[in-house]
Structure 1
Amino acid sequence: MLDRLDLLVIGECVADIVRLPGAADQVHPGGSPANVAYGLARLGYGTTLLTQLGPDDNGRLIRDHLAAAGVEVRTDGATAPTPSAAVTLDDGGRAAYTFDITWTLAPVTPDRPPRHVHTGSLATVMAPGAATVLAAVESLRAAATVSYDPNVRPELMGDHDAAVRQVERCVAFSDVVKASDEDLEWLYPGRDAREVAERWLASGPALVLVTRGRDGALAVLPGGQVTVDALPADVVDTVGAGDAFMSGTLHALAAHGLLGAAGRERLRSLDRATVTEVLRHAAACAAVTVARAGANPPDEGELKAALARS
């Protein structure tokens, strides 16, 4: 296992209240950054999550869930209610969200610099906490690689043009960026996802990944493009699939020694074979997750089994 603060995730926790026709509500721990932290811990990494949790039942549920995987949770001491999202699933297991969220994160200084920082989602666009998140990441990136997932939630993004500018600022300071084709369609309506990924790559990152649901995933890197198919899965729901893809990506990059300031230059000279392996690991994590309810990513044994079946 890596040192406890080797991987730092900054972002929101959300209680996902899943509503199915004719069934009682089910509450699942969620929030995109929290899901990534949980996924990394399940894969054996010492992971710290800097977040906000209320002193309520949902907050205790999420804290216990994260602790069970080994995530160290640090908060700024805020006492607002834990954010929540009502999740409605359609017949294909696709999720739609209604949010009750505030994000007021105050500065919290890590005990020592992490090797890698991940952030994204509402934490990077919702005021006033977003300013704290961006300042923290920008101050840490000299000693750490950075990954970012915009995880667009249109209802909470505010003014479209301002949101695009904020997303592009985050893309520019990141080494690895992951977005879904739906994210890109909201940010840049009618634009080709490959074109957007190439433009993002030119602004700073070493690697831009685009997830496309059942159509697999695309990676854009300086040496060209790589695609992989989605792994077969009996879909229960898609909650947390993109977050599992992200944690699987970071797991594979870490295995190749590509995270941390010392790995940044190697990350910028990736070959297609390595990127293909990274995408396969990420797709396998997503496939395991969609086959069961809630944001429930694989541990290392489950990931190995999924890769062996692919």
Structure 2
Amino acid sequence: MHITDATPAPRLAAGDGVLTVIGESLVDIIRDPRGPAGGQAHPGGSPLNVAVGAARLDLRTVLVTHYGQDLHGLLLEEHLQANGVQVVNGGSAATSTALATLGPDGAAEYGFSITWAISGASLPALAAVKGSTHVHTGSIATVLPPGEQATLALVEAAREHATTSFDPNCRPAISPDAAAARRQAEVFVAASDIVKASDEDLRWLYPDRAPEESLQAWLELGPAVVALTRGASGPVILSGNGRVEMAAEPIRVSDTVGAGDSFMAGLISGLAKLGALGAEGRRQLQTLTLDQLHAVASYANRAAAITCSRKGANPPWSAELGELS
């Protein structure tokens, strides 16, 4: 078991709760045909990106994850420390890697060498979620054995005293069985208060219906808020009170790496600013007005746009993003 305590990020004025993110950390090796030959190594993994994005938006953040004691693991540890993310590291295998090859439009295609196991830190991980106001998970950590059941157990343990969120961030190269991934996603949707997915996720999981139909079906499984990101078409958010849609921010795209994770971090941060997280905030989350949903969607939309405007998963800081409005 290896635990690293980095300096926590400042607290949000909206409350002093802790966000715990559960999921993979890995090193992205990015190959860009528009740049020099070879690849550059960068910290990555959807949950790690969400944790860093949330910490940059002033949420005190813990990441329950796995990486090895190797050069790639050192890169991840330094990155998390530099961004004020506290780490509970539950694994000892080599650090996972993802090879991202960028196309002419900046979109990324991935190949993976992944391990997901957090059994080496079961008790610290449980303590982290029990001490949290909000718990988020998603992506590989929710589908890849042997750690996916531990991820679900931690989310379920959090439900009594925390709000929870989920982003499937599907990786067919890791979990090619769409039917199994769909069943697993629906388990996490039903255990979550907030869910975000991309149109690509929902087209892969439910090829026989439109993404927004699938989003509506997920809302009926129990979450209070469900969000759909659609790249250049902008996001849609649904709740029991209605629907919000907006165009994407007009920016020059460098690449799309980490854009959805920045949206997720912005969504969590925006809801925290509204006092809509935690057991005490769940009623507020369930009764958000359309104006409030629009403000949160706009905030998250700006976060994603800023990330797209620069290379790699480099989410905005609170001073760049501005206030919820």
Measure the CA separation in 2 of the matches of 1:271 and 1:20. 43
- Kept in 2, the 8 Å contact 1:249–1:281? The answer is yes
Q: How does 1:187-226 map to 2 (within 5 A)?
A: 187-226=205-244
Q: How does 1:127-146 map to 2 (within 5 A)?
A: 127-146=145-164
1:42-79 residue CA offsets vs partner (Å, 9 max, x unmatched): 11111000000101111110111111010001112x22
Instruction: Report the counterpart of residue 246 of structure 1 in structure 2.
Output: 264
Percent identity over the alignment?
Answer: 48
> Alignment partner for residue 141 of structure 2, among 123, 126, 129?
123
Give the deviation of 1:129 after TM superposition: 0.2
1:207-254 residue CA offsets vs partner (Å, 9 max, x unmatched): 110000000000111122110110011111100000000000011100
Relative distance call for 1:4 and 1:266 in structure 2 (3 A) is closer
- Kept in 2, the 8 Å contact 1:4–1:47? The answer is no
Structure 2 letter corresponding to 1:218 = V
- Kept in 2, the 8 Å contact 1:11–1:34? The answer is yes
> Alignment partner for residue 36 of structure 1, among 50, 56, 74?
50
Structure 1 stretches of 5 or more lacking a match? none
Measure the CA separation in 1 of the matches of 2:103 and 2:176. 26
Q: How does 1:1-310 map to 2 (within 5 A)?
A: 1-2=10-11, 6-21=18-33, 22-76=36-90, 78-106=91-119, 107=122, 108-110=125-127, 112-304=130-322
For the aligned residue pairs, the C-alpha RMSD in angstroms reads 1.5
Structure 1 letter corresponding to 2:141 = A
Relative distance call for 1:5 and 1:274 in structure 2 (3 A) is closer
- Kept in 2, the 8 Å contact 1:4–1:48? The answer is no
SS at match of 1:126: coil
Structure 1 letter corresponding to 2:189 = V
Give the deviation of 1:4 after TM superposition: 8.2
TM-score (structure 2 length as normaliser): 0.91
Instruction: Report the counterpart of residue 7 of structure 2 in structure 1.
Output: none
Range that drifts further, 39-48 or 296-305: 296-305
Give the deviation of 1:160 after TM superposition: 2.0
Measure the CA separation in 2 of the matches of 1:235 and 1:209. 22
Give the deviation of 1:5 after TM superposition: 6.7
Measure the CA separation in 2 of the matches of 1:139 and 1:271. 29
Give the deviation of 1:158 after TM superposition: 4.0
TM-score (structure 1 length as normaliser): 0.96
SS at match of 1:61: helix
